[in-house]
Chain A
């Protein structure tokens, strides 16, 4: 098969993995040889019309797979055309694209062929050739197969910046019904193994002399859950996400709206992807990790285990917690400011810096480009006291009038 055709099939097969991050790894450059650099923050080299960042060359080594995960285009029983790259082909594509400055590096995954060890060995070989034979210093993300041998995982961590194992479905029941060969416990077990190695390498780097420390996936591990394929509600998804963050030190949990695929399984007929729900989950995830919210607080803003689709989760929570408001922006502590709808962490820090020198007024907020319509109902300023905080009309006033909000209305779920 022609290389171009293979690339089409194996990129198409890889696109349901949401992760394309290339940030948070060790800094490297090629001033003393090799090719490439990493700069700490990632770079999106292009955006596709789906609005997603293209940072890495995201490929499957092969889309042949003996597993039969119902949500996946590559499942054993799918009619999709199959293809397989050679190790050298992936290596040359990565280097060729990298030299033209179109990517930060490679995200390589694979369907499972022959055995987990065989498959993992092939994936690791690509990374090994890139690093050792070509001195590649760019970013490498490898998908890890939970059942692969420990030596292969150790070698993968040596070359990869990030490793990931996808949880795919947030509950045992979901996994059993839709991905019968996958096992919730084995996945968690493998994640625990990665945490041990990642932390081991970090400890070693702190104690041993730097050159000596054995590297292991300096950008940590991440995972993904599919949203809307099984019956799991947002509470279950966020519950599993918080467990994974806390238990296995995930750098990121990705949420991927179940999207129609060209050859859907009978178990899972195609539906419009719940993009708004996915967006709300990312917002909630952010509040959990950086804004001091608990999962219970976030879920209190929604109903029946689901987040509010019309309002962002912080505003939805604030409407249920009106007793905590208004917050005086001139005197309240940082934690309280972080909970004000419409105020991000950066804005909060700027407000705190500014209020040391001046009494904050509504115009100051305007200059910091915050949405006054969102913030003012919940805060007190030198020249502002909110009205209608207890009124029934507040929710209506807060519904954003943007196109996105229109798209957020649940009716839009029958999009097609």
Chain B
């Protein structure tokens, strides 16, 4: 390659205004020929030739070299911008990238990098607005309906965005015509052609589309006159698009009428209720349970029923409707009741429902529950034959972003739910109660006993029943290392086995 005189410029002619492949090849040739950015002039075939360039560009040659992905991604989009300086900007950045500034793209405050970002952003916005604001009109051709649209993009995006419309409307036959370019889909291939004129798409005087009045009516009806914010509308749907949007013809009227419509609403104020209201007579019985205030006024039973199953059902009913539940209960999805056969040999009492129990409305179905299941299976206890419940019946938590973090119940919470638990134990009447963890032990015995020291022993509940103390399975989940977890699990299984033997 003959070296160029230092001042001499070269002219690169690109075949199209947004031809990234051609630009890339040419730029590779320029870099290989060591042509500085200020020596290169970029011209698009068919547009005005440059004034300064004297020599033709070197042929696209030179071995490929690597540039950061971030540059290519942005450049491929920015090249569609209508700014005539775009090619030079890209080449300037490329030059710096291969001449010692490999990390240039991370220099977020470099003016050229910012400019590149701004161009790419403008192109993306233009594309997004094209996806949004192209309006097809259905016209009848001899061979069936065609969908045609006139659109005026700011940048050279027609070819790049044709795929979007293809993915969406492959089943239709459509054309989009812009002042510079036209794109059509006939069901088998995309075709690109020269631009057109607004008056021809569709030809002036062609019959209107029957959906247009419907669409305008929808646009007018979905608008809320009490929230007039024309600035926000114009920021996202600038005026320049309005002339090609049929619904935009409604805007002046909607804006002019809005104050009067709102004034009327305010003036009318509260209307008398309709003397002929919509009737609920079709509501099938049983579809809706009694309204909450009715449930709430039901007296709590003075003499609890003697039948155990009825007693548990009454307990359920009461927990749903008690007016004095602790505050956190209102933030739970539902109370979580005990589960299992009345008269079970073993009754397990945990602390409180967790996230998954709250959602499912069943005890011990979360991570700790799954661990308990495994331990029960190893200890030879059939979960279905045991009764499982918790000392506290509602999930108490603190929300953090996407999760609800378990909050331990305090002494007051345990005291509040204790009568329910006592009635539940009495109704189930197990041979042995197994308390899992400290809260359950306190709830059952009324004493603050240390779990790790009491585990394996049988103590007495306030109601007189024997209580076998052990840990809560969630304790195992918190143990730091695998060995400790394995040991802890084995000890837990041993406890469960011992309890089962004593029951």
- Which chain A residues have a beta carbon within 8 Å of chain B's beta carbons? 3-4, 7-9, 11-12, 14-16, 29-31, 33-37, 39, 43-54, 57-58, 64-66, 68, 76-79, 82, 93, 96-97, 99-102, 111, 113-118, 147, 172, 176, 180-181, 183-185, 188-189, 191-192, 195-196, 242-243, 245-247, 249, 257, 259-270, 272-273, 275, 288-289, 294-295, 350-351, 353-354, 356-358, 360, 364, 367-368, 403, 416
In chain B, positions 181-238 with a C-beta closer than 8 Å to chain A are 209, 211, 213-215, 217-233, 236-237
A257→B228 CA distance, assembly (Å): 13
Contact of B107 among A50, A78, A184, A357 (CB under 8 A): A357
**By DSSP majority rule, is chain A's interface helix, strand, loop, or mixed?**
loop
Contact of B247 among A46, A64, A192, A263 (CB under 8 A): A46
* B334 with A192: CB separation less than 8 A: yes
Shortest beta-carbon distance from A407 to chain B in Å: 9
- Which chain B residues have a beta carbon within 8 Å of chain A's beta carbons? 103, 106-109, 111, 114, 128, 131-138, 147, 149, 164, 166-172, 209, 211, 213-215, 217-233, 236-237, 245, 247, 251, 254-255, 258, 262-266, 268-274, 277-280, 282-284, 287-288, 291-293, 320, 330-331, 333-334, 355, 358-361, 397, 399-404
Contacts A100-B211, A368-B108 given: A264-B167 contact, CB under 8 Å?
Answer: no
A52→B224 CA distance, assembly (Å): 9
**A8, A260, A364 — most chain B CB neighbours (10 Å):** A260
Nearest CB to that of A5 among chain B residues? B217
Contacts A34-B171, A45-B132 given: A351-B358 contact, CB under 8 Å?
Answer: no
In the complex, 14 of the A-B residue pairs with CB atoms within 8 angstroms, ordered by the A residue number, are A3-B214, A11-B221, A30-B169, A48-B223, A50-B223, A50-B232, A51-B227, A76-B280, A82-B278, A97-B218, A247-B359, A259-B224, A357-B106, A416-B263
Contact of A15 among B211, B223, B287 (CB under 8 A): B223
* B236 with A53: CB separation less than 8 A: yes
9 smallest CB-CB distances across A and B, nearest first, come from A51-B232, A51-B229, A246-B399, A29-B167, A77-B273, A114-B282, A11-B221, A48-B223, A50-B227
Shortest beta-carbon distance from A177 to chain B in Å: 10
Nearest CB to that of B248 among chain A residues? A46
Residues of chain A within 8 A (CB-CB) of B288 are 116, 147, 181
* A356 with B227: CB separation less than 8 A: no
* A97 with B211: CB separation less than 8 A: yes
Residues of chain B within 8 A (CB-CB) of A102 are 135, 215, 247
Residues of chain B within 8 A (CB-CB) of A196 are 359-360
* A114 with B271: CB separation less than 8 A: no
Shortest beta-carbon distance from A49 to chain B in Å: 5
Residues of chain A within 8 A (CB-CB) of B147 are 99-100
Nearest CB to that of B270 among chain A residues? A266
Shortest beta-carbon distance from A382 to chain B in Å: 12
Shortest beta-carbon distance from B2 to chain A in Å: 38
